[in-house]
Amino acid sequence: MTVLKIKGLKEMGKDERTKKLKELKLELIKAKSQSSKGGSAKIKGIKKIIARIYTLDKRPKDSTEKLENKVNKSKKILNKSKLKMEKLKNK
């Protein structure tokens, strides 16, 4: 089993991720049946990759754009409040 990072998953298309998700779920079932009472590192790794895929699919495509807009708005508000404070100090 190879470890898939978010970067690698982003490069995959939606169809490829769906296919990989099905493969991982099947692999998880096999790993659980082979494992005895305790959990194994392989099971944990598979679960992490599955979670990464779900997270990536839920994330909006323009999330970085929205974040940049919020940062810009915050900067504008901060600048306005600084100007108001300077005006008050000058009076």
Residue-wise pLDDT for 6-63, tens only, equals 788 888 888 898 999 999 999 999 988 887 666 688 899 999 999 999 988 887 666 6
Residue-range definition of the domain harbouring residue 70: 62-91
pLDDT category of residue 76 using cuts at 50, 70 and 90: confident
Residue (of 44, 46, 39, 52) closest to 6 by Cα position:
52
52 and 89 assigned to the same domain: no
Angle ∠(71,68,87) on CA atoms, nearest 5: 30
76 and 89 assigned to the same domain: yes
CATH number at residue 8: 1.10.287.310
pLDDT category of residue 73 using cuts at 50, 70 and 90: confident
What span, in angstroms and rounded, lies between the C-alpha atoms of 57 and 37?
A: 32
49 and 27 assigned to the same domain: yes
48 and 84 assigned to the same domain: no
What's the total number of domains in the chain?
2
pLDDT at 22: 95
Q: What is the token pair recorded at 90?
A: 């000058």
50 and 24 assigned to the same domain: yes
46 and 5 assigned to the same domain: yes
What span, in angstroms and rounded, lies between the C-alpha atoms of 43 and 49?
A: 10
Which CA distances in Å does 57 have to 42, 65, 78? 23, 17, 34
